[in-house]
Amino acid sequence: MPRTLHDVVFVDGVRTPFGKAGEKGIYAQTRADDLVIKCIKELLRRNPQLPPARVEEVAVAATTQIGDQGLTLGRLAALLSGLPNTTPGYSIDRMCAGAMTAVTTTASSIAFGAIDIAIAGGVEHMGRHPMGEGIDPNPRIIAEKIVDESALVMGKTAENLHDRFPQLTKERCDAYAVASQNKLAQAYADGLVQPDLVPVATRHTEKGWGLATVDEPPRPGTTMEELAGLKTPFRPHGNVTAGNAAGLNDGATACVLASAEAAAELGLPVRMQLVSYAFVGVEPEVMGIGPVPAAEKALAQAGLTIEDIGLFELNEAFAVQVLAFLDHFGIADDDARVNPWGGAIATGHPLASSGIRLMSQLARHFEEHPEVRYGLTAMCIGIGMGGCVIWENPHHADFGKEN
């Protein structure tokens, strides 16, 4: 039977405020699965025209799939969110790009015609489940020199990227980090971040009850002088510090995806339309370069060039990784199109959840910039990968037309 590909649209996206990992963090004694469940419930509340029974798949990503992030989290989260038991679900792991992969995987099912509507999400509680907890990497990957030992420590791969591109100095990275903090502080002051944040009730045996309403990691007012004095934990006299890299964080995200036909039928908002996506592998020792070939592949698939992209949401796992992307494409460090509200250096990076944060923010930027037709979300991925998703702005005058 011949099949017709269906256009896939981004309907809505939300996230919890991101917290600092560890016993002092806001989510220290909050379950990881409850964070993503809170996001799914909020999506259903915000979109009452979406009958829960019409959600045909729930994909939830987590990097460390044990404890309260394990046991086919997508299915359990669906049930605990009030979706009917006819809604299936599954878990995804592509490290930092978990939520991004949850989106592209469910979007592919929609495009194929297997389903019409899905919820994709991601969660990471790095306080409860530190990156690498309980894993046992096959020692042959080092012994047989398939990768260098540094490939398994993301901070060391960032230092390797500095070696490969010496023009990406620590000073440039620190300046980029300061700008990220300042942009996020301004976005909060302007009330731009808050609409997609889901308040989360917290409980702690010592601190009592609380309510998480804003991100915990940001350090507004950070200066170059403060960053210059930070330690370089991955290499003596190195370049990567806690100030120019994302921290260890807890948080969750989720979004609704639908076929264009289903969105029109139910009156769901169309905030973005999927154009193309790509995941690629690179040398694990310099995993931060991954977004470059991923973007090149996604652009080629879409018949676009980097000049067609009017807005960028790039995950700031490390400042050096973002700067490598910008240098490759000839984009200035302070280009206003890049991360208008700052990025993970300020907001935080709860690994598998971050991809949907990028997408939700890009959708907001599209609303503010109808003159921009295409936007791009991209991120580096541990063990040497990169991911990129290109979106079209439904508010643009040429939306849906041929290039």
- Within 13 Å, how many C-alpha atoms sit on residue 148's CB side? 13
Two tokens, residue 49: 């025209």
**Residue 380 among the catalytic residues:** yes
Distance CA 299, CA 177 (A): 27
Q: How far is CA 238 from CA 14, 228, 233, in A?
A: 37, 11, 8
Determine whether 388 is an active site residue. Answer: no
Could you count the other beta carbons within 10 Å of the beta carbon of residue 318? 31
Catalytic residue among 39, 173, 255, 380: 380
Q: What 3-state class would DSSP assign to 316?
A: coil
Q: Which of 129, 162, 349, 365 is catalytic?
A: 349
Q: Is 39 a catalytic residue?
A: no
User: Are 7 and 260 a contacting pair, CB within 8 Å?
Assistant: yes
Q: Of 96, 173, 255, 388, which is the active-site residue? A: 96
The rounded distance, in Å, linking the Cα atoms of 44 and 51 is 8
Burial annotation 271-284 (CB, 10 A radius, 16+ → b, else e): bbbbbbbbbbebeb
SS3 328: helix
Residue entry with tokens 């080092």: 142
Q: What one-character DSSP code corresponds to residue 224?
A: H
Distance (Å, whole) CA 205 – CA 55: 37
Closest CA to 95 of 317, 344, 318, 358: 317
User: What are the CA-CA distances from residue 283 to residues 151, 277, 294, 339, 344 (Å)?
Assistant: 8, 20, 13, 26, 23
Catalytic residues: 96, 349, 380
